């Protein structure tokens, strides 16, 4: 009888527990998951745990301390070009949904305290069609790049996670400037500073030189202009296909 009573008590207790310990996912979080997977998942992984190059957002203080998009929103809109993150064109509503998804993921991660999922294997990243990626490359990229020259061996030069981030927004590439002075003399160097009144370069000898913008003519060359022009045209499928092709350049 005692054993029966214990079983009945356990059954009654179980009936009062939630069916799952998972935090409930709101409709906004569900929609945000779809938006995040399509627009951000390639670099940050669909579950926001990072891919080696792009950080694990579940460990981000910025995400954890965000309040109604005050911290995450500007990063999505403006990107972090110096860290390899381009701007992402999402509406205010979509940004709110992405934040709802990230907050839901944080709650789940805090509950389960999972082991480090940071390292992503090639199998998890390589989901695109290399032939389709080559078609896109031949059409859009060969004006500046060559698979047999500057990109030869790029697939073994970088880890998969590094490669997929670098082709979207290559880091540490400086703009060059040619300054033409009133005398006709020209100086070419690396752009250091530019505003409406001043332009400054580092010349080939390493010297800092500056001029009033209304006193000289100048031409700025941005090696990343082509990459920036392509960013708004990328779809998730194109990104995965292009990455698959670049991985074949061993």
Q: What is the pLDDT of residue 161?
A: 67
- State the Cα–Cα distance between residues 57 and 175, nearest whole angstrom: 31
Mean pLDDT for 141-155 is: 91
pLDDT in tens, 99-146: 999 988 888 776 655 444 444 455 556 778 999 999 999 999 999 899
Domain positions in the chain are 25-120, 125-169+232-247, 176-222
> What mean pLDDT is reported for the chain?
81
pLDDT in tens, 163-176: 877 777 776 688 99
Is 50 exceeded by the pLDDT of residue 4?
Answer: no
Domains 25-120 and 176-222 belong to one CATH topology: no
- Reading the block at residue 129, the tokens are 């069609």
How far are the Cα atoms of 78, 183, 233 from residue 85, in angstroms, in the given order?
Answer: 9, 42, 16
Q: What angle do CA 230, 58, 68 make, to 5 degrees?
A: 80
The answer to whether 165 and 43 have CB atoms below 8 angstroms apart is yes
Global pTM value? 0.50
pLDDT in tens, 11-41: 443 333 334 445 678 899 999 999 998 888 8
The residues, ordered by sequence, that sit 6+ positions from 82 with a Cβ below 8 Å of its Cβ are 171
Q: Which residue has the tokens 């100086």?
A: 187
The answer to whether 45 and 121 have CB atoms below 8 angstroms apart is no
CATH of 25-120, one of 1.10.760.10, 3.40.50.300, 3.20.20.70, 1.20.1420.20: 1.10.760.10
Q: What is the pLDDT of residue 2?
A: 40
- The domain defined by 176-222 folds into SH3 type barrels. (2.30.30)
SS3 150: coil
The answer to whether 143 and 226 have CB atoms below 8 angstroms apart is yes
- State the Cα–Cα distance between residues 109 and 226, nearest whole angstrom: 39
- State the Cα–Cα distance between residues 116 and 113, nearest whole angstrom: 9
Compute how many other C-beta atoms are within 10 angstroms of the C-beta atom of residue 209: 14
pLDDT in tens, 75-110: 999 888 777 788 888 999 999 999 999 988 888 776
Q: What is the pLDDT of residue 231?
A: 79
């Amino acid at each position: 009888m005692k054993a029966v009573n214990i079983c009945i008590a356990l059954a009654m207790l179980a009936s009062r527990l939630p069916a799952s310990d998972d935090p409930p996912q709101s409709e906004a979080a569900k929609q945000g998951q779809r938006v995040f997977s399509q627009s951000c998942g390639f670099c940050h992984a669909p579950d926001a745990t990072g891919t080696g190059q792009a950080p694990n957002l579940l460990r981000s203080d910025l995400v954890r301390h965000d309040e109604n998009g005050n911290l995450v929103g500007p990063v999505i809109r403006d990107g972090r070009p110096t860290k390899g993150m381009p701007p992402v064109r999402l509406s205010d509503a979509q940004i709110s949904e992405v934040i709802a998804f990230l907050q839901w993921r944080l709650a789940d991660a805090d509950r389960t305290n999972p082991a480090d999922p940071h390292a992503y294997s090639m199998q998890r990243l390589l989901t695109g069609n290399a032939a389709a990626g080559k078609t896109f490359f031949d059409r859009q990229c060969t004006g500046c790049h060559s698979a047999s020259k500057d990109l030869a061996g790029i697939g073994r030069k970088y880890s998969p996670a590094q490669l997929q981030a670098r082709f979207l927004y290559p880091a540490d590439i400086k703009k060059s400037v040619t300054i033409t002075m009133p005398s006709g003399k020209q100086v070419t160097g690396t752009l250091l500073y530019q505003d409406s009144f001043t332009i400054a370069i580092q010349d080939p000898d390493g010297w800092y030189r500056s001029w009033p913008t209304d006193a000289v003519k100048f031409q700025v060359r941005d090696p990343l202009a082509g990459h920036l022009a392509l960013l708004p045209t990328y779809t998730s499928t194109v990104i995965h296909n292009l990455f698959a092709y670049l991985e074949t350049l061993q």
